[in-house]
Amino acid sequence: MKRLRDIFLIYIPAGFLLLSLLWVLLYKWMPVRWTPLMLVRTIENREVEGYENKQNWVSLESVNCFLVESILMAEDQRFFYHRGFDWVELAKIKGEYDKQGKPIRGCSTISQQVAKNCFTFGSHTWIRKIIEAYYTVLIETFWGKERILEVYINVAETGRGLFGVESACQRFFGCSASDVAIDDAAALACVLPKPLTRTPSSVLNTHATKHRKICRELLDFLTENGTSLTTYKLDKL
């Protein structure tokens, strides 16, 4: 009986902690070529002829700064100022629910999205949320902001069967992520919250205000500072 108790109270938790730490450290240097979400999409589309997940891994430095800035503005404007959880944004949306009792908008940070995409399955349960929070702390501790951002731009779902910004730019714009134009970068950033129902062309009509806002903020910052926002902030870390 004591041995069984030790297994459940000591060995299993210790094994989980060790394996999760090794997993995180492995991904600190290796490209993340597979995620649980990719497996889910493959299973969901197993009867769709010709379906395959496409991902082209690229380094953060090779991606056009306009695209990186657009993603930060659309998904996590305080990315460089929090440690994985944006309590300021959480306070803003507190009490904002629709008639079904669901939050009107999400506030998951890029770090949380990376933890969810790379280390958990996307079920909406408290257990998954706890595991996501645990991995968020780990990657913030061991990866750093540059690596988290690099993994995000490569594993984020960007369309049907598309993962990462490089595959999306090739599909939608016929160019590499290093050559994408400002307006196209802003359009792709608007796709990220709902990549299965939005495309860069559709958001020009459905989310035109957000698209123009991102473009304007990019141009204003570059005009005022003469450098990319990401480069500026990374230099300050």
Q: Are residues 23 and 54 in the same domain?
A: no
Between CA 104 and CA 120 the distance in angstroms is 24
pLDDT, position 30: 95
pTM: 0.86
Domain that holds residue 74: 34-236
Q: Are residues 22 and 108 in the same domain?
A: no
Asked whether the predicted pLDDT for residue 185 surpasses 90, the reply is yes
- CA nearest 83: which of 115, 109, 44? 109
Asked whether the predicted pLDDT for residue 94 surpasses 70, the reply is no
Mean pLDDT value across residues 46-68: 92
- Per-residue pLDDT band for 207 (boundaries 50, 70, 90) equals confident
Which pair of tokens denotes residue 41?
């999409």
Between CA 21 and CA 33 the distance in angstroms is 18
pLDDT, position 121: 80
Q: What is the pLDDT of residues 104-158, one digit of tens each?
A: 456 789 999 999 999 998 667 888 899 999 999 999 999 999 999 999 999 999 9
- Per-residue pLDDT band for 219 (boundaries 50, 70, 90) equals confident
Q: Are residues 38 and 17 in the same domain?
A: no
Give the least confident one: 62-71, 88-97, 107-116, 120-129.
88-97
pLDDT, position 5: 62
Q: Are residues 13 and 39 in the same domain?
A: no
Q: Are residues 162 and 56 in the same domain?
A: yes
Averaged confidence pLDDT in the chain: 85
Q: Are residues 115 and 212 in the same domain?
A: yes
Q: Are residues 69 and 9 in the same domain?
A: no
Give the phi and the psi of residue 195 in degrees, each rounded to 5: -70, -15
Overall number of domains in the chain:
2
Higher pLDDT, 196 or 227: 196
Q: Are residues 209 and 225 in the same domain?
A: yes
Kindly report the CATH number assigned to the domain that includes residue 129. Answer: 1.10.3810.10
